[in-house]
Chains A and B, each alone.
Chain A
């Protein structure tokens, strides 16, 4: 798929995020929109997967450790054809397939239950170790947040991944600089990020998380590095693509008025 096509898909995923948030209901808009390009590249370019056969043994695995951004994953799964697009209209309804956080038992394509922050990376490590025991070539992709890395378990997992040389594990860190209640450096500083991951024994790359070409090139490059887990620190904008939500912490789990909903849809359609 070309860079332009992937860019269009990223825009479409954002539009579906907005549709899922809807009007007058809370939804994790900010941290979902910051991931649109990364998730578009993974699902529509990089990962081996089969929406018709979600449990295909040779598939790559994707785990959204920052599970509150489930909307971006739901948008990608629906767009890929894991389930009908009509499911996204029912997100978070009582009895719905699509729960507030990723739920593997109800949703085809979800690999594990994430959302209690800090745990998804450990799970991704376990999957990577299990695949290696089975001599599988599959890769494990995992996305963590820059707020999430305040969780101590992230660093337990970081040590384990390096000790076990999990080179089939590629992690994106969504560095949008905002936690739920405000700017990370002011509220609770998780920096410096690059130095920490290097010290923990990881191969570290730093990219613009909205630059499709850079995401692709970096993924192609890091997968060749042996014996080390990889982390791609992706500089992103929380709420990316929606003018009034960009870099605004309130839209971490925000609610849209009817007017805001229409502005967001118009902007996303125009730029796509």
Chain B
């Protein structure tokens, strides 16, 4: 399976779309070599704004640019893009619904070495809670590219959460990405796993292994956290023995919250996999850190099996 780096794909897509659309402007807080906005900067220096290490000003400055008809992308690590700039996003951008795209890079635990201060475990919860905000979490490079194209067509605030690491391709190339739509990645009839981001590929691995044991697992990529097609979630869950949610985020306010809220009262057994109200920490590699927080293929397998016993 081809691996792509979502940051690289993001930077390339922004550059490619920037060639066709002169209204695209990019703002950066001194992390351009990591968020890969450096690609846009090299070709379009006049439409690239280095804002120094000043995320608050960057975010409101982007609001101002959007008020002159620009499609403004702000960039930083997710923990700062969403956390440091919360008030600027809420007040100046989301209340009036301005056309600013907040891109949170190195999201979740993916900046494994830098520890709790640089790992975002609650960014989705914060962004989801703001009225008028759209929240997207791509599962791979293909979906990242499709999302960037789509959010430029959409006029309004968007939070886009980008992983730091290479991810295996799984989103069908020919499939259109539609904001709000959950995507069936693999069909199954016993248990459904709702996942997003890096956890979609882990859910797929789990489904393959479980098939060998005669357990049929459906995998749904919930890459739009908000808006989210409630009917589609209900249909995907209907007739299942149970469901697992899997996310690289706190169990408070992210995918588990969104899906279980939609399915409240349905009586379907749920096992949520996510970060259990803890901060991140440093590790020598990403997989080791994901394991510490239970964000593994093995944990999904164990959870699915538990649900089949009901």
Contact = CB atoms under 8 A, between A and B. Distances in A.
B61 A116 contact: no
Contacts of A115: 91
Interface in A117-167: 118-120, 122-131, 133-134, 152-153, 156-157, 159-160, 164
Interface stretch (B65-73, B205-213, B273-281): B65-73
Contacts of B155: none
Interface stretch (A21-29, A105-113, A225-233): A105-113
Interface string B60-98: 111111111110100000000000000110111001110
Contacts of B91: 113, 115-116, 119
Point out which of B47, B57, B59 has the most chain A C-beta atoms below 10 A from its C-beta. Answer: B57
A113 B100 CA distance: 14
B55 to A, nearest CB: 9
A130 B56 contact: no
Contacts of A128: 64
B54 A159 contact: yes
Contacts of A120: 60
A153 B68 contact: no
A122 B49 CA distance: 13
A126 B71 CA distance: 12
A104 interface: yes
Contacts of B70: 130, 133
B46 interface: yes
Contacts of A60: none
A79 interface: no
A103 interface: yes
Interface in A78-112: 103-105, 111-112
Interface string B28-67: 0000000000000000001101011010110111111111
A116 B64 contact: no
Contacts of B64: 112, 122-130
B300 interface: no
A153 B62 CA distance: 14
B96 A113 contact: yes
A130 B92 contact: no
A119 B100 CA distance: 15
Nearest to B46: A133
Residues of B in contact with A, size category: 20 to 34
Nearest to A61: B67
A152 B88 CA distance: 13
B25 interface: yes
Interface residues of A, number: 32
A160 to B, nearest CB: 6
Contact of B60 (A111, A119, A129, A152): A119
Nearest to A153: B56
B88 A119 contact: yes
A167 B25 CA distance: 20
A128 B67 CA distance: 10
Nearest to A122: B60
B95 A112 contact: no
Contact of B54 (A105, A160, A164): A160
Contacts of B57: 122, 125, 153, 156-157, 159-160
A176 to B, nearest CB: 24
A36 B227 CA distance: 44
A103 B92 CA distance: 10
Contact of B95 (A113, A122, A127, A130): A113
Contacts of B87: 116, 119
Given A112-B67, A156-B54, A125 B96 contact: no
Given A113-B95, A115-B91, A126 B52 contact: no
Contact of A112 (B47, B51, B72, B96): B96
Contacts of B88: 116, 119, 122, 153
A159 B92 CA distance: 20
Given A112-B67, A112-B92, A153-B56, A122 B61 contact: yes
Nearest to A119: B60
A74 to B, nearest CB: 17
A153 B60 contact: yes
Contacts of A125: 57, 61, 64
A131 B72 CA distance: 14
B95 A126 contact: no
Given A130-B70, A133-B25, A160-B61, A123 B92 contact: yes
Contacts of B92: 112-114, 116, 119, 123
Interface of B: 25, 46-47, 49, 51-52, 54, 56-57, 59-70, 72, 87-88, 90-92, 95-97
Closest 10 CB pairs of A and B: A126-B64, A130-B68, A122-B60, A156-B57, A126-B61, A156-B54, A116-B91, A123-B64, A127-B64, A126-B65
13 contacts: A104-B96, A112-B96, A116-B88, A116-B91, A118-B56, A122-B60, A123-B60, A126-B67, A127-B65, A128-B64, A131-B68, A133-B46, A157-B61
Given A105-B95, A130-B70, A160-B61, 19 more contacts: A104-B96, A118-B56, A119-B56, A119-B63, A119-B87, A122-B63, A123-B67, A123-B92, A125-B61, A126-B60, A126-B61, A126-B72, A129-B49, A129-B64, A130-B25, A134-B68, A153-B88, A156-B56, A160-B51
